[in-house]
Amino acid sequence: MKKSIAVIFKTTLVILLSCNATFAQFRLPAIFGDNMVLQRNMNVPVYGWGEVGEQVQVDFKGKTYTTTTGADGKWLVKLNSYKAGGPYEMHISGKSTSLTYKNILIGDVWLASGQSNMEFGIQTEKHAADAIPKATDGLIRLFYVPMALSLQPLYDIPRQSPGSPNGKWVVCSPEVLADRGFVWHGFSAVGLYFAQQIRKSTGAPVGVIGSYRGGTPAQSWITAEGLKQSPAFTKYVDAHKKLVDNFETATAIYPERLEFYRNQLKIWNTEVGTPFNDTLKKWNADVAQAKAERKPAPPRPKPSRPAPVPPADPLGGYQSPTICFNGVIAPLVGYGIKGVIWYQGESNGDYFDDAIEYKDLFPRMATDWRRVWGQGDFAFLFMQLPNFRQPAVTPSENNWPWVREAQTKTLALANTGMTNIIDAGDQFDIHPINKLVPGNRLALVARHNIYGEKVVATGPVYKSMKINGNQIIISFAEIHKGLVTAGLVGDDVVNTDGAELKGFGIAGADHKFVWARAVIKGKTVVVTSDEVVNPQAVRYNWADNPPGNLYNKDGLPANPFRTDDWPPLKN
C-alpha cells in the first residue's frame, strides 16, 4: 500500500505533464479507438487536438466531416445520428497524421462509476465460475479507466502498455473477463451484469466505461466549480484550493519525507509488524469461522504501537475534493453516452454529519456531471445502499438510513432511477460478493425508466399515512400485484406470505421509536404498538442492517422510508 502511494504520485505527475501539455501533436483522446461503441440516436461527437488551424477530416459511414483546429488546439465534429449497428470503420486525418479505428459499434454507452462495490470485479464475484465462460457476447464492449489523481482536470487517459486490458475498448469475452490485468480482479461485475440485461432487452450493442475507485466520497467526484455552487460546500472548496496552492512546496519536500517514513516503517515492521501479522492471521481465521457460522466477528486486535504515518500526499489522496473527477472523469467528458450507473455512498455514511450532507452533495454531483458533459439530462441511475453491519437493535439507528434517504430524494432530478438492494447486502462484509442481484435490478430500472419497457422495476414506495386512534395506516405506490412478506435467498426472492411483518418502528410526540406490530391490509400496512398510545410517525427499515421483509408480489423490496420530517439526531 505504501509503495503504491509513491507510484501513483509519480504517475500522476507524468500525466499532468503529458496530458495537459500544449496540443502540438494531432491525436484523439484514448476513449476513441478500435472496438469502441458510439452512442446511437444522437449527433455523435468526435474530437481531439492538433496544431492551431490544422485541417481535420473524419470519414464515417460514407460521409465526410471537416473542421479546423481552434486557437486552443482543440477540434470537434458532430456526426449524424445513427441507429444501432456495426461493425464500422472510422478514418480521421490531420495535416500529417491519419488514423483508422476498426470494429466500431453503434449502440448505448453507459458510464459505470462510484466506489468499491462498483469496482468489485467479476473474477471474485459469487457467480464468476459460471458467468465468465458464458460471457461470449461480442456486442458488449468494455473500457476501464486506469486510476489517476489530479488537482486539475486532465484532458486524457494515460496510454497503457499494448498487452494491458486497461485504457482501451475491449470486446467482452471469457478471456478478457479472466484477464488479471484489470484492477481488483476483473471488470465491474455490476457493470457487466447490467450490460448483459440491457443487451438482452434492447438487442442493441452496449458499451460500458468503468471509472471507479474504492473508498471515495462523493466530493472527490465533483468539479471545483460544482462545489462552488453551494455555500454548504465551502469547506471542500477551501481544502481543494489549499492543496493547489501548496502543491509545488509539498511536491518538493515529499520525496525526503517519504524516504524517512520508509526507514521508520522498516524499524516498525521488525519490532512490531511481523509479530502482529501472525496475530492477524489467527484473527482472520477466527473471523472466517465466525462468518461461516453466521456469528459476530471477534474484535480486531491492535499492534503494540501504531505504525508510522506516511507523509501527506501532495495531491491529498483519494478522498480529496475533485481529485477523482479530475483524474478519471474529466478525460471522458464530451464522449457520447446514454447515461451513468452509480454505486457509492458508503464513504459518505461513515460519519453522521457527512450522511446528513449527502442529500445536498449527491444531487449536486449528478447535476454537475450533466452540466460539464453538455448532453442534456442524460440518465443517472444509482444503487441505494444495502444492509450492512450487525442487525438493528432499535427501529431507528445509525448513519446509513440518512444516506439512503438522500439517495431517494435525488430521484427529484429528471431522468433518474434508483435500485433498492436493502436485502442484498452482507452484515459481515461491506463488499457483498453477489453482484448479480444488484446488476439485474439496476437493469430493470433502466428498462422501465429509460427504455420505456412495461416491467416492474421498483418495490413498494411510501405514499401517505393516516392516523386512526392508536394506529397509523400506511399507503404505498408501486404495489402492482400486491403486498407480501418475502426475503432474498441466494438470487431469488422467496414469498413468505403470512409471516410476521418486520422492520416497522412507531413513535409518539417524544420522537422515540419502538418496534411495532405491522399487518398487511389490502394495499396498506397498519402499524401499532401498545407502548405508543398516540402515534405520530412510522419508520421502516431505518437502520444500517434492518430486518424489514415487505415486498410486492413482483419480488422487489419496499424502499426504506420515514413518515416524519423531524430533524435528524445522532444515535
How is the chain split into domains, by residue range?
A: 103-233+319-450, 461-562
Region of 252 please: left (phi>0), alpha (psi -120 to 50) or beta: alpha
In the structure grid, which three cell numbers stand for residue 466, read together?
Answer: 393516516
* 210 neighbors 112 (Cβ within 8 angstroms): yes
| Residue matched to cell numbers 422467496 | 494
Q: How many residues does the chain have?
A: 571
| Full DSSP string of 83-100 | -SEEEEEEEEE-SS-EEE
Angle (nearest 5°) at CA 186 between 181 and 190: 155
Backbone angles phi, psi at 538, to 5 degrees: -130, 140
Q: What is the pLDDT of residue 22?
A: 53
Helix (H, G, I), strand (E, B) or coil at 458: coil
Q: What is the pLDDT of residue 23?
A: 63
Q: At what angle do helices 189-202 and 436-445 cross, to 10 degrees?
A: 40
- Compute how many other C-beta atoms are within 10 angstroms of the C-beta atom of residue 354: 18
Segment (H or E) for 129: helix 128-134
Contacts for 156 with CB less than 8 Å, ≥ 6 apart: 19, 29, 30, 331
Alpha helices in 374-426 (DSSP H): 400-409
Q: What is the pLDDT of residue 184?
A: 86
Taken in order 270, 271, 272, 274, the sign of the CA dihedral is: positive
pTM of the full predicted structure?
0.92
87 preceded by a cis bond (ω within 30 of 0): yes
The strand pair at 550-552 and 98-114 is best described as unpaired
Q: What is the pLDDT of residue 456?
A: 98
CATH architecture of 103-233+319-450: 3-Layer(aba) Sandwich (3.40)
In the structure grid, which three cell numbers stand for residue 475, read together?
Answer: 399507503
Residues of the chain where predicted confidence (pLDDT) is lower than 50: 1-21
